[in-house]
Amino acid sequence: MNTKNFLYISLFTALFATSCKKDDAPAYDSNVKADLSVEFDNVVGAADLALNTGSYTNAAGESFTVTKLKYYVSNFVLTRTDGTVYTVPQKDCYFLVDESDENTHEPLLSIPEGEYKTISFLVGVDSLRSTMDLSQRTGNLDPAGVASDMYWTWNSGYIFFKMEGTSPASTMMGEYMYHIGGFGGMTSSTINNIKKVTLDLTARGVPQVKSGKSTNIHLMVDVLKMFNGSSNVSIAANPMVMFDPYSTTIANNYSAMFRHDHTEN
Amino acid sequence: MHRKHFIILFIFVAGIAACSKDEIADVFTGFQKPSNFPNTVYHFETNPVTKEGFELGRKLFYDPILSANNTISCGNCHIPTGSFSHPGHSVSHGIHDRLGKRNSPPIMNLAWSPTFMWDGGIFDLDLQPVAPITNHVEMDDTLVNVLNRLRNHAEYPSLFKKAFGTSEISSNNFLKALSQFMLMCVSSESKYDSVIRNQTVFSSSEQQGYAVFRQKCSECHSEPLFTDHSFRNNGLSITSVNDMGRYPVTLNDTDKYRFKVPSLRNLAYTAPYMHDGRFFTLDAVLDHYTGSVQLTPNLDPFFLQGAQPGIPLSATERENLLAFLATLNDKNFVRNTLLAEH
């Protein structure tokens, strides 16, 4: 190879390498945090949930209304398309979705820029936080504040999921109440209804999280699945379920009520 | 100085010393672990007891502002002269004289207690007051309401500022103040404690009763707190209330009809006895153990050693045992002015 050719080849290689590098240059800076909102859109089957006014029918053939729907989501973890995992700092990561308060429907997370393929979260409050000193349970977990309606005082612990309404099938003055909790017990082992939900985001739109943008993951939360699941829940048979062995059936059912509908990048 | 003057001065100084000695009972000296007690289980590292925090807790404890209609304070059902129990009441009457289903337990030595309530449903002293405040038959209020009333009160914000450095009243500092007061309710000055500390001796009857106690009671009522903090079924007959004790807390079948083993300290002040206050006298309690223990689900195996369920006691053993139990009464505790309403 003569000198001239060598120079050409070197120059070409260098340019090519540079251009390649330029194409691979990260569009995302994982050192920069950006907003990602996760919308919990409560629905009943194919219909939007209308508190108090909407009437629906479950698999047991019982018609019902929903007068109250609240649940905790916490401990969000997101996995990038390259497989790396980001765990949202736990203390910023407890949200109470309350159907009657629109401001609670879209928890806002601050996560590193990037493209993400899965999201996972807990429905409920982890056992560690459930037993922490009261000074570590502020904001959405304050039993004198947001959590006052979602806390069992006689059997220390958070209520993870609360759904109430009316139904002619109920033998309890036409009402039903499901208050589901149980973190596994502090002084004795007992029921654990903490549910981990993991959703694939690739089929319905990978979120491209970038500073300056406001990416939104839109989840549909079908509360009909609380009734209709691997074991159908009947209002006539169980109009009221609180801290009770049967609560595990309800928790298993509602853990399947979340699905990714679309992403707004 | 004249010798005579010196003597007068001495008498004068001695007089002052004597005066201050009388007041010592009313002086805050912080939380102190009695020498014959084990290590505490409360998390003092997140809530150190201070004079200001304790005094705030004491004020809150006796203030009916914690109830929905300003009528019921903690002290209503936890009376200091009753070792902070509700003497004479099988179950207590709360707001609008509504009745509960369980006997108001004494508040004493809670720094050593891993769980609270007869069923142990509460695992942190800080979380305990929320239950009576929100219970329909007790104070029937919400923490949100209580905190709002305290925030709008003429004195409380400045008292919180003194105790916690902030006049902002949160569930955290509100409940921690109450904990500070309750933690200071330490009963450790009974005759039994003095004997253990080699400051006095038992009478012959007390000594023999101590031997009976060790043979027949200490399995559950272990020294020096006189409870092992476990949950047991002691064979009480099941009433129409059908209180299943710890079962609703754990949902384990083996916890049905089990209740927390209560301490035997200060029995002279805490009658009636048992989780539902069904026995008015210690004699009635001993009658139960000697002759009326029922074979109900999960009866503690300790009661199944003899021909019939229960604990046999001869007349002499019974007499001596009662003499020993009387040495567990701590009159300094029930008269402690530091713990009384101010």
Q: What is the pLDDT of residues A171-227, one digit of tens each?
A: 999 999 999 999 999 888 999 999 999 999 999 999 999 999 999 999 999 999 999
Measured in degrees and rounded to the nearest 5, phi and psi for residue B191 equal -60, -40
CA distances from B21 to A36, A78, B24, B25 (A): 66, 66, 5, 8
Q: Could you give the CA distance from residue A155 to residue A245 in angstroms, rounded to a whole number?
A: 15
Which pLDDT belongs to residue B100?
A: 81
Q: Which residues of chain A are at the B interface, by a Cβ-Cβ cutoff of 8 Å?
A: 131, 133-135, 137-138, 142-145, 148, 151, 153-156, 185-191, 243-245
Which pLDDT belongs to residue A258?
A: 98
Which pLDDT belongs to residue A26?
A: 55
Asked if the C-beta of B175 comes within 8 angstroms of chain A's C-beta atoms, the answer is yes
Are A144 and B143 in contact (CB < 8 Å)? yes
Assign B13 a pLDDT band (cuts: 50, 70, 90): very low
Helices B51-61 and B171-183, packing angle to 10 deg: 90
Which pLDDT belongs to residue B222?
A: 98
- Give the closest of A134, A145, A156 to B121, CB-based: A156
Return the number of other C-beta atoms located less than 10 Å from residue A139's C-beta.
13
> B44-187 in CATH: which number?
1.10.760.10
**Which of B149, B166, B251, B253 to substitute to test the interface with A, most A CBs within 10 Å?**
B251
- Give the closest of A133, A143, A187 to B130, CB-based: A143
> DSSP secondary-structure letter at B292?
I
Query: Is pLDDT above 60 for B130?
Result: yes
The CATH 1.10.760.10 portion of chain B extends over 44-187, 191-332
Residue whose entry in the numeric block shows the structure tokens 């003597």? B7
Tell me which amino acid residue A167 is.
Answer: S
> B191-332 in CATH: which number?
1.10.760.10
Mean pLDDT of A158-167: 98
Left (φ > 0), alpha (ψ -120 to 50) or beta: where does A99 sit? alpha
Q: Could you give the CA distance from residue B128 to residue A143 in angstroms, rounded to a whole number?
A: 12
Helix and strand tally (H, E) in chain B?
A: 14, 2
Cis, bond preceding B272 (omega within 30 deg of 0)? yes
Burial class (CB in 10 A: 0-12, 13-18, 19+), A81: middle
Which pLDDT belongs to residue A23?
A: 44
> DSSP secondary-structure letter at A56?
E
Which pLDDT belongs to residue A211?
A: 94
Q: Could you give the CA distance from residue B325 to residue B223 in angstroms, rounded to a whole number?
A: 12
Burial class (CB in 10 A: 0-12, 13-18, 19+), B97: exposed
Mean pLDDT of B161-183: 97
In the beta sheet, which residues pair with residue A97? A71
Q: Could you give the CA distance from residue A149 to residue A71 in angstroms, rounded to a whole number?
A: 11
Residue whose entry in the numeric block shows the structure tokens 């190879």? A1
B72: closest CA among B49, B104, B102? B104
Three-state DSSP string of B307-320:
CCCCCCCCHHHHHH
The angle formed by the CA atoms of residues A118, A124 and A126, to the nearest 5 degrees, is 90
| Alpha-carbon radius of gyration of chain A | 24
Are A153 and B46 in contact (CB < 8 Å)? no
Note whether A246 and A149 are within 8 A (CB).
no
Residue A85's H or E segment, with its range, is strand A85-87
Question: Complex ipTM above 0.90?
Answer: no
**Would you state the structure tokens that stand for residue A199, as one six-digit string?**
């959703």
Tell me which amino acid residue A49 is.
Answer: L
In B, minimum Cα distance to A137 occurs at: B172
- Give the closest of B46, B117, B143 to A143, CB-based: B143
Tell me which amino acid residue B129 is.
Answer: P
Mean pLDDT of A140-159: 92
Are A133 and B147 in contact (CB < 8 Å)? no
Q: What is the pLDDT of residues A46-95, one digit of tens each?
A: 999 999 999 999 999 999 999 999 999 999 999 999 999 999 998 879 99
Q: What is the pLDDT of residues B323-334, one digit of tens each?
A: 999 999 999 999
Assign A10 a pLDDT band (cuts: 50, 70, 90): low
Of A4-8, A52-56, A102-106, B280-284, least confident by mean pLDDT is A4-8
Strand pairing category for A114-123 and A151-152: unpaired
Are B170 and A190 in contact (CB < 8 Å)? no
Distance from CA of B118 to the nearest CA of A (A): 11
Mean pLDDT of B92-108: 85
> A79 in helix, strand or coil?
strand
Asked if the C-beta of B297 comes within 8 angstroms of chain A's C-beta atoms, the answer is no
Q: DSSP letters along B137-179, please? A: TTT---HHHHHHHHHTSSSHHHHHHHHHS-----HHHHHHHHH
Are B124 and A156 in contact (CB < 8 Å)? yes
| Between B5 and A17, the higher pLDDT residue | B5
Which pLDDT belongs to residue B26?
A: 67
Distance from CA of B218 to the nearest CA of A (A): 22
The total number of residues written for chain A in this structure:
265
Mean pLDDT of B127-153: 90
Mean pLDDT of B256-260: 98
| Between B139 and A180, the higher pLDDT residue | A180
Assign B5 a pLDDT band (cuts: 50, 70, 90): low
Of A49-63, B91-105, B188-202, B263-277, least confident by mean pLDDT is B91-105
Are A156 and B123 in contact (CB < 8 Å)? yes
Are A187 and B123 in contact (CB < 8 Å)? yes
Task: Identify all chain A residues contacting B151, using CB atoms and an 8 Å cutoff.
Answer: none
Q: How many CB pairs under 8 A join A and B?
A: 83
Asked if the C-beta of B126 comes within 8 angstroms of chain A's C-beta atoms, the answer is yes
**Would you state the structure tokens that stand for residue A32, as one six-digit string?**
């920069």
Distance from CA of A228 to the nearest CA of B (A): 25
Q: DSSP letters along B36-92, please? A: TS----S-GGGS---HHHHHHHHHHHT-GGGSTTS---HHHHSBGGGTTB-TT-SS-
Which pLDDT belongs to residue B19?
A: 44
Q: What is the pLDDT of residues B277-325, one digit of tens each?
A: 999 999 999 999 999 999 999 999 999 998 899 999 999 999 999 999 9
Which pLDDT belongs to residue B69?
A: 86
Task: Identify all chain B residues contacting A191, using CB atoms and an 8 Å cutoff.
Answer: 251
Burial class (CB in 10 A: 0-12, 13-18, 19+), A6: exposed
Measured in degrees and rounded to the nearest 5, phi and psi for residue A173 equal 50, 35
Which pLDDT belongs to residue A91?
A: 83
Assign B22 a pLDDT band (cuts: 50, 70, 90): very low
B190: closest CA among B41, B332, B9? B332
Q: What is the pLDDT of residues B30-48, one digit of tens each?
A: 999 999 999 999 999 999 9
Residue boundaries of the structural domains of chain A: 34-264
